């Protein structure tokens, strides 16, 4: 029994993941942590479990050396290393770097984030890939809204693992932030703007959620997706 338990725990640790590379125009970056800020879990792969922690912002250990160029309206991908091995929603946020600020050192604190994508549950609900379209994927994609103004942004990807979310603090959040420069943007006014931490509460129905008995609805946490 002890061996079985140990194997189960080891398997769980290996099953964690992180998002270390961008995919631009279908091309993954050559190396990890180039345009993506290195996260504290780059070795452990552990998720964030306190939504009130500043780690909810970028889970950052150090800044990124590069800023990737992405055209508004294009698809931006994040590689999941080695895959999104837990079921739950995957969401994307952007924050505009203020004029005059250095993107490589800017801390995206306060109400600066707007949601640009949510890959969430497709009914009927369960714990399968049919319910959760991002589950087991080796990369996840979002479209940079065509109306977003040109400029420098952080793009934050998060995967909310729900397999232990039946108790408060049980949801595991795997996230990272990429540095991009949007070209050919529009004149939209992105919003609503929210803060990390702050946007989520541990008791949000999208974070405190049990997959058994099988529920009929799932609502991902955070604001509505800004569609421009
Ligand atoms: Cu895990």
Residue 4 in any domain: the answer is no
Average pLDDT over residues 129-146: 97
Residue 8 in any domain: the answer is no
* The total number of residues written for the chain in this structure: 228
What is the reported pLDDT for 126? 87
CATH number for 77: 2.70.50.70
Q: How far is the CA of 214 from the centre of ligand 1 (A)?
A: 21
What is the reported pLDDT for 11? 44
Residue 224 in any domain: the answer is yes
What is the reported pLDDT for 212? 84
Q: How far is the CA of 143 from the centre of ligand 1 (A)?
A: 26
> Cβ distance 88 to 162 under 8 Å?
yes
Q: How far is the CA of 55 from the centre of ligand 1 (A)?
A: 17
Q: How far is the CA of 47 from the centre of ligand 1 (A)?
A: 7
Q: pLDDT of 18-29, one tens digit each?
A: 999 999 999 999
Phi, psi for residue 123 in degrees, rounded to 5: -65, 155
Confidence band, pLDDT 50/70/90 cuts, at residue 8: very low
Average pLDDT over residues 11-15: 53
In the chain the first and final C-alpha atoms are separated, in Å, by 55
The whole model's pTM is what? 0.94
Residue 3 in any domain: the answer is no
What is the reported pLDDT for 59? 98
Q: How far is the CA of 168 from the centre of ligand 1 (A)?
A: 17
Q: How many domains does the chain have?
A: 1
Residue 57 in any domain: the answer is yes
Parent domain of 163: 30-228
Ion ligand 1 contact residues with beta carbon within 5 A: 15-16
Exposure string for 37-56, b = 16+ CB within 10 A, e = fewer: bbbebbeebebbbebeeebb
Residue 179 in any domain: the answer is yes
Q: pLDDT of 33-48, one tens digit each?
A: 999 999 999 999 999 9
Q: List, as one string, the DSSP characters of 81-102.
A: ES---S-S-EEEEEEEPPTT--
What is the reported pLDDT for 211? 85
What is the reported pLDDT for 14? 52
Q: How far is the CA of 174 from the centre of ligand 1 (A)?
A: 9
Q: How far is the CA of 17 from the centre of ligand 1 (A)?
A: 7
């Amino acid at each position: 029994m002890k061996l079985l338990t140990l194997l189960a725990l080891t398997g769980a640790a290996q099953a964690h993941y992180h998002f270390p590379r961008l995919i631009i125009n279908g091309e993954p970056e050559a190396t990890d942590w180039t345009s993506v800020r290195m996260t504290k879990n780059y070795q452990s792969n552990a998720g964030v479990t306190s939504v009130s922690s500043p780690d909810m912002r970028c889970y950052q250990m150090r800044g990124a050396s590069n800023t990737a160029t992405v055209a508004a309206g294009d698809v931006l991908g994040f590689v999941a290393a080695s895959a999104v091995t837990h079921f739950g929603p995957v969401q994307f946020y952007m924050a505009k770097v203020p004029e005059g600020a250095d993107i490589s050192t800017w801390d995206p604190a306060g109400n600066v984030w707007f949601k640009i994508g949510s890959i969430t549950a497709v009914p009927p609900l369960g714990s399968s890939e049919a319910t959760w379209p991002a589950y087991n994927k080796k990369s996840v994609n979002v479209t940079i809204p065509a109306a977003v103004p040109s400029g420098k942004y952080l793009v934050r990807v998060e995967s909310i693992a729900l397999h232990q979310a039946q108790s408060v603090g049980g949801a595991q959040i795997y996230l990272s932030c990429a540095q991009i420069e949007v070209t050919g943007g529009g004149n939209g006014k992105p919003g609503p703007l929210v803060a990390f931490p702050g946007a989520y509460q541990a008791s949000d129905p999208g974070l405190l959620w049990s997959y058994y008995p099988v529920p009929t609805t799932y609502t991902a946490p955070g604001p509505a997706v800004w569609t421009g």
